[in-house]
Structure 1
Amino acid sequence: MKFETIEEVAAPQDYTFARFTDFTRYEGLARKYGADIRRVGGFTEVAEGATWRGTMQVRGKTRGVEAVVTRYAPPEAARIDTVVGGMNVVFEMRFEALGPDRIRLRAVAELQARTLAARLIIQSIKLTRKRVQAKINSRIVALANEYEDAWRREQG
């Protein structure tokens, strides 16, 4: 199952890439929602191979999670491969410059089941696909607006 969002952002490519790949922020958000996430190897700079492990609640059950940055090519692309329980989730972002202060972000999340339980979860997501896609779209738009506003404030 694949979800894709395309959004234009009124900020430079380097700036936008840095904001959307601020994995420290995402760690904090995961913890806020009850996940227990730890950096493997205690890295301080994100690069290909950076890994997180831990646990999180999915559909009322605690499941193991492992996330690995498999592509980190500033300022064009980033990809993170995650395994949650019996499900593989690949999240990829591509940043295309449309001008000096405008980029097009293409964010794609692909879910693939490896177990029967994961297949059931994906099946239930398929039933609400439009609602899930709308939530993803609104979150990407909200982040883009936040980063555009921050860019404008920094420019004075």
Structure 2
Amino acid sequence: MELKAREDIEAPLDRVFAEITNFEGIERQILRRGIEVQRTNDPGEVGQGLSWQAGFKFRGKTRTAEIELSEFSAPEQMVFQSVSGGLEARTTVDLVALSRTRTRIGVLTEFTPKTLSARLLVQSLKLAKGGLEKRFKSRMAHLAGDLENRLKG
């Protein structure tokens, strides 16, 4: 199953890339939302191989996820691989310079179940895909708007 979204931001590519690779700031935002996140390797380096462990509640249960930045091609693309139980996800973040002052961010997340319970979860997500995609795109638009506002002032 795939979820896709893309948004345009009124900011140069290099500034957008710098902001979305500010992982310490992103970690603080995630912590404020009640998700436990901890970097599992050197916090000083930004690039391929960065990894995190996250803990969160989903459907009444506490879950954990291992997340790794598996591909890093500055300033165009980042690919994150994550595993939570029997569910694997691959999230690709693409940045494209539309002009000197405009950047397009594209996010594609692909879910791959590896166990029966993960298959059941993905099947239930597929049944609700319309609403899920709508929320995903709405959340992406909100995040892009926040990013644009931060970069403006």
Give TM-score scaled by structure 1 length: 0.88
Aligned amino acid, residue 113 of structure 1: P
Deviation at 1:123, TM superposition (A): 1.2
Matching residue of 2:68: 68
C-alpha distance 21-140 of structure 1, shift in aligned 2 (>3 A) = farther
C-alpha distance 27-149 of structure 1, shift in aligned 2 (>3 A) = closer
- The worse-fitting range, judged by mean Cα deviation, of 13-22 and 96-105 is 13-22
SS in 1 for 2:78: strand
Matching residue of 1:87: 87
Matching residue of 1:15: 15
- In 2, Cα distance between equivalents of 1:99 and 1:129: 33
SS in 2 for 1:98: strand
Deviation at 1:23, TM superposition (A): 2.7
- In 1, Cα distance between equivalents of 2:54 and 2:146: 29
> Please, what is the CA RMSD of the aligned residues?
1.7
C-alpha distance 33-150 of structure 1, shift in aligned 2 (>3 A) = closer
SS in 2 for 1:47: coil
Deviation at 1:60, TM superposition (A): 1.8
**1:129 paired to 2:129:** yes
Number of residue pairs matched by the alignment:
153
- In 2, Cα distance between equivalents of 1:147 and 1:37: 21
CA deviations on 1:9-47 (whole Å, 9 max, x unpaired) are 111001112223333333234433443322113422321
CA deviations on 1:53-81 (whole Å, 9 max, x unpaired) are 24322222222310000112221011110
Matching residue of 1:39: 39
Gaps of at least 5 residues in structure 2 are none
What is the correspondence of 1:130-149 to structure 2 with a 5 Å cutoff?
130-149=130-149
**1:57 paired to 2:49:** no
Matching residue of 1:97: 97
- In 1, Cα distance between equivalents of 2:29 and 2:60: 19
Question: Identity over the aligned pairs, expressed in percent?
Answer: 30
Deviation at 1:104, TM superposition (A): 1.5
- The worse-fitting range, judged by mean Cα deviation, of 42-51 and 71-80 is 42-51
Aligned amino acid, residue 151 of structure 1: L
Gaps of at least 5 residues in structure 1 are none
C-alpha distance 122-74 of structure 1, shift in aligned 2 (>3 A) = same
Give TM-score scaled by structure 2 length: 0.90
Does the aligned pair in 2 maintain the 1:14–1:74 contact within 8 Å? Answer: no
**1:28 paired to 2:28:** yes
- The worse-fitting range, judged by mean Cα deviation, of 23-32 and 111-120 is 23-32
